[in-house]
A = this chain, B = another copy of it.
Amino acid sequence: MVIEDPLEVRKACEAARARGLGVGFVPTMGALHAGHLALTREAKKRAKFVVCSIFVNPTQFGPNEDLARYPRDLEGDVRKLEDVDVVFAPAPEAMYVPGERTRVRVDELTAHLCGPHRPGHFEGVTTVVAKLFSIVGPSVAVFGKKDFQQLAVIRRMTKDLFFPVEIVGHPIVREPDGLAMSSRNAYLSPEERQRALGLSRGLAEAARAFEKGERRAGVLRDLALASIEPIATSIDYVSVADVDAMTPLPDDATAPERVLLAVACRVGGTRLIDNVVLGEDPPPVRLD
């Protein structure tokens, strides 16, 4: 069932709750791939009634970003969401009504990594997720770990604003060759698609060293950089960072037993991100 109207979605969720069903929620921007479908499957495991939203949220795009050309395929998306109870596909004016002026932001957690490179991005994310949580009223919501910082920011917001929803992070889903799935991969030319493997390869090189005992933040970072620099058109960051605070460790720091290694770079005109939690995640790809 595809519903556009927020208030109708609220009603459908209220009816589900009245029937004793838990409501699971997966917010997406559409252009769905196997990564998204893993999230809806996870939601379905945890709740009997699952809502998936498809909304290309304008406020999380910067003025020079790809809002206008972001891939959109509602029909195709709906076909992929067979086991979902409600596809919530609102118009922009329904989520941002004329005269709307409210923004939700999370400080500090957004000050590093993607934050400085995408001013306003996380504020757009937290604003729309707060709206969506209010509309859907989920008991559980599933987010992908590819957007690791986003997940941390949403956990923070959820706790701080007392949304009664459990936030579940789902492992990154990768292509067989290691590339993290992303709707933006569709932008890549065949040659760029090949180069993009440098991200997961770089993370894997660092993960292998970490497994063997390497804890010098700078060395781990350089190992990732060695695979990423040659293929990147430009690099926003390659950072070893505190897994909770999202603060990058200086190169001369010793990494703790669980630490985030995250990258954002451009391959051609396409901005790609990837990450691995060293000490927790399996290596992103097997190295020969």
- Interface residues in chain A, defined as those with a beta carbon under 8 Å from any beta carbon in chain B: 6, 10, 97, 99-109, 126, 130-131, 134-135, 156-157, 159-164
Contact = CB atoms under 8 A, between A and B. Distances in A.
A9 to B, nearest CB: 10
Contacts of A156: 99-102
A160 B107 contact: no
Q: Which 6 A-B pairs have the closest CB atoms?
A: A102-B160, A134-B162, A100-B160, A101-B107, A102-B157, A135-B162
Nearest to A14: B164
A94 to B, nearest CB: 10
A130 B161 CA distance: 7
Given A161-B130, A162-B131, A162-B135, A109 B101 contact: yes
Contacts of A157: 102
Contacts of A103: 104-107
Contact of A161 (B102, B106, B162): B102
A107 B103 CA distance: 8
Nearest to A126: B102
A209 to B, nearest CB: 31
A165 B184 CA distance: 38
A130 B97 CA distance: 19
Contact of A10 (B99, B134, B159, B164): B164
Contacts of A161: 102, 104, 130-131, 134
